[in-house]
């Protein structure tokens, strides 16, 4: 059977980009159709990304915090892990949020079509429905919000159930005794944190000379030192071959920390990045240019080279983050509705929800040097924070990057517990063009970790000099 729909706006993909665009466009009075190939709304982020990973990281944190209490006089028993219950708790978290989205779509009268959509011209999309029905959608405007997919490596078997990607890791089928995380980026480290807390021995191999290469070295060094006993970390090392045998996956490494013989693992998590889905929507039929990697180039209004077709989220470029997709979505929907708006943020925060967390925003120190900016860096070590000492987590630090002449906040990074939550103040400072004096004169509550931001500003101002 075939249906025909005519709409002002059709959106391909219902991740954070797609659903945010749909809701904003509907709130602005537009007629909206949202097309999604999954059974639920929410895209990668809600179904197999941000949210389920944080649900499992919450479990890991409680396990780790409970174990750490032994040195403060409270000993809990060995945790009893019930994987089925953990899994169903995680699934209930995602179901609550994806279900909430479909309620929000209904209340806004957004039409949802479940199936895979492809352009057939610059005015039509055909959706092969999950229910076997075909829907032809004629549109005035389209937004491509097709997201990204995991990258596989050619020399690693993808048909072996012992080789998993982030989606497989979130399924939590078992807790392997020996696990290799291939790729020391944010996703690999977050999932490694979960499996380590649940009982796996976790090794991490990273080709670069530091984990999370996008963050400043001094921030990552603190994370790495804190975790060097927890994980076997192999930097400047790469996997060159994987042999699947009955008793395990034998991995051959090359590089600085490469073991001389192949090492046996029960599971390998491949976390080497994500590729944009630009090539999967038949964009050429609409005349939309897609580069060879799958990215779609857009203007500040999020228009592709075809002015009534927009693109947002992971498919338009780095950083591939949910909050970037949401803000782009709002701009695209508002431009379609006739408002004047552009996507020109001063900063987009990045957070690794690891233990300790690493969070940074604005310019990093390395980027500032590359760009020849005249900066001054102020570091506040958490060894001097009453709250960090009382929480027995003094490894962290708050680092602020100021423009030397004016004191304007250009960026900042935090490594330590709750770094992700603490980063918000620095984001606001960068976006609003605040300077060190604004932060130093703001009364931060005591004792909080958040004080460290004001104190770093005082260091820049020269009013604190006697740090440990
Ligand atoms: P997506 O969320 O990828 O959604 C695109 C949707 O479009 C998908 O559901 C797809 O099925 C659908 N689709 C694609 N093509 C079609 C088509 N032709 N027809 C119909 N439907 C289609 N980001 C953060 O900011 N914070 C985090 O903590 C975080 N954690 C993550 C953890 C993991 C394990 C992973 C994998 C990612 C994480 N991310 C995180 C990244 C985040 O998930 C993405 O940046 C975000 O989901 C991108 O949103 P999007 O709308 O561009 O696309």
| pLDDT single digits (tens) 407-439 | 999 999 999 999 999 999 999 999 999 999 999
% of the chain residues with pLDDT over 90: 96
Residue 222 has pLDDT above 80, yes or no: yes
- How much is the pLDDT for 284? 97
pLDDT band at 155 (very low <50, low <70, confident <90, very high): confident
Name residues contacting ligand 1 (CB within 6 A).
Answer: 12-18, 35-38, 43-45, 49-50, 53, 116-118, 145-148, 166, 187, 277, 280-281, 313-314, 320-323, 325, 353
Across the strands, what pairs with 429? none
Kindly give the number of the ligand 1 atom that is closest to the alpha carbon of 117.
19
Indicate the pLDDT class of residue 85, thresholds 50, 70 and 90. Answer: very high
Tokens of 411: 């960026």
What is the predicted pLDDT for the residue at 381?
98
Task: Output the average pLDDT for the chain.
Answer: 97
- Give residue 464 CA to ligand 1 midpoint distance, Å: 44
Q: What value does the mean pLDDT take over residues 92-113?
A: 97
Residue 464 pLDDT level (bands cut at 50, 70, 90): confident
pLDDT of residue 158: 83
In this predicted structure, what is the pLDDT of residue 132? 87
Beta bridge partners of 164: 269
Mark whether 446 is an active-site residue. yes
What is the pLDDT at residue 131? 84
405 CB burial (10 A radius; 0-12, 13-18, 19+): exposed
Could you read off the pLDDT of 251-289 as tens digits, one per residue?
Answer: 999 999 999 999 999 999 999 999 999 999 999 999 999
Q: What is the pLDDT of residues 384-402, one digit of tens each?
A: 999 999 999 999 999 999 9
Residue 215 DSSP SS3: coil
pTM: 0.97
296 phi, psi to nearest 5 deg:
-110, 125
Each residue of 324-372: pLDDT tens digit? 999 999 999 999 999 999 999 999 999 999 999 999 999 999 999 999 9
Q: Are 35 and 137 in contact (CB under 8 A)?
A: yes
All residues at 6 or more sequence positions from 340 whose CB lies less than 8 Å from its CB, including other chains: none
Q: Is residue 1 predicted with pLDDT exceeding 70?
A: no
Mean pLDDT of 441-454: 98
Question: What's the 96 CA to ligand 1 centre distance in angstroms?
Answer: 18
Q: Mean pLDDT throughout 114-129?
A: 97
In DSSP terms, 398 is beta-bridged to 380, 414
CA–centroid distance, residue 149 to ligand 1 (Å): 8
- pLDDT at position 355, please? 98
Question: For strand 201-205 and strand 178-182, is the pairing parallel, antiparallel, or unpaired?
Answer: parallel
Mutate to test the pocket of ligand 1, among 17, 18, 49, 55 (most ligand atoms within 8 A of CB): 49
- Residue 66 CA to residue 63 CA, distance in Å, equals 5
CA of 275 to the centre of ligand 1 (A): 11
Which three-class secondary structure state does DSSP give residue 232?
Answer: strand
Nearest-CA residue for atom 7 of ligand 1: 13
Q: Tell me the mean pLDDT in the region 201-213.
A: 97
């Amino acid at each position: 059977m075939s249906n025909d729909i005519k709409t002002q706006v059709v959106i391909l993909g219902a991740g954070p980009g797609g659903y945010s665009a749909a809701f904003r466009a509907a709130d602005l009075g537009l007629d909206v159709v949202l097309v999604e190939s999954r059974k639920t709304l929410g895209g990668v982020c809600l179904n197999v990304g941000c949210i389920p990973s944080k649900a499992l990281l919450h479990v890991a944190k409680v396990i780790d915090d409970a174990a750490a209490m032994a040195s403060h006089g409270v000993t809990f028993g060995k945790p009893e892990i019930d994987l089925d219950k953990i899994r169903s708790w995680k699934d209930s978290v995602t179901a609550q949020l994806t279900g909430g989205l479909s309620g929000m779509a209904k209340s806004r009268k957004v039409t949802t079509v479940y199936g895979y959509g492809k352009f057939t011209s610059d005015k039509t999309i055909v959706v092969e429905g999950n229910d076997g029905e075909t829907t032809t959608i004629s549109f005035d405007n389209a937004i491509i919000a097709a997201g990204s997919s995991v990258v596989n490596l050619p020399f690693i078997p993808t048909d072996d159930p012992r080789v998993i990607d982030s989606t497989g890791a979130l399924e939590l089928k078992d807790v392997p005794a020996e696990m290799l995380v291939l790729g020391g980026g944010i996703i690999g480290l977050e999932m490694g944190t979960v499996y380590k807390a649940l009982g796996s021995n976790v090794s991490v191999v990273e080709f670069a000379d530091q984990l999370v290469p996008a963050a400043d070295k001094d921030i990552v060094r603190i994370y790495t030192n804190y975790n060097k006993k927890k994980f076997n970390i192999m930097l400047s090392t790469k996997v060159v071959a994987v042999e699947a045998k009955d008793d395990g996956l034998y991995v051959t490494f090359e590089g600085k920390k490469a073991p001389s013989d192949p090492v046996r693992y029960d599971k390998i998590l491949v976390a080497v990045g994500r590729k944009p889905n630009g090539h999967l929507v038949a964009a050429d039929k609409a005349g939309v240019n897609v580069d060879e990697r799958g990215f779609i180039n857009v203007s500040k209004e999020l228009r592709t080279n075809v002015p009534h077709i927009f693109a947002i989220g992971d498919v338009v470029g780095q950083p591939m983050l949910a909050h970037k997709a949401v803000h782009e979505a709002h701009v695209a929907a508002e431009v379609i509705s006739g408002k004047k708006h552009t996507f020109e943020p001063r900063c987009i925060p990045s957070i690794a929800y690891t233990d300790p967390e690493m969070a940074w925003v604005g310019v990093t120190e390395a980027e500032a040097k590359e760009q020849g900016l005249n900066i001054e860096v102020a570091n506040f070590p958490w060894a001097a924070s009453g709250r960090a000492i009382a929480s027995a987590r003094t490894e962290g630090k708050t680092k602020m990057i100021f423009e030397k002449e004016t004191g304007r906040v250009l960026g900042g990074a935090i490594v330590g517990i709750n770094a992700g939550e603490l980063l918000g103040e620095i984001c606001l400072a960068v976006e609003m063009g605040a300077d060190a004096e604004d932060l130093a004169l703001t009364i931060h509550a005591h004792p909080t970790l958040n004080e460290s931001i004001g104190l770093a500003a005082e260091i820049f101002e020269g009013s604190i000099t006697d740090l440990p």
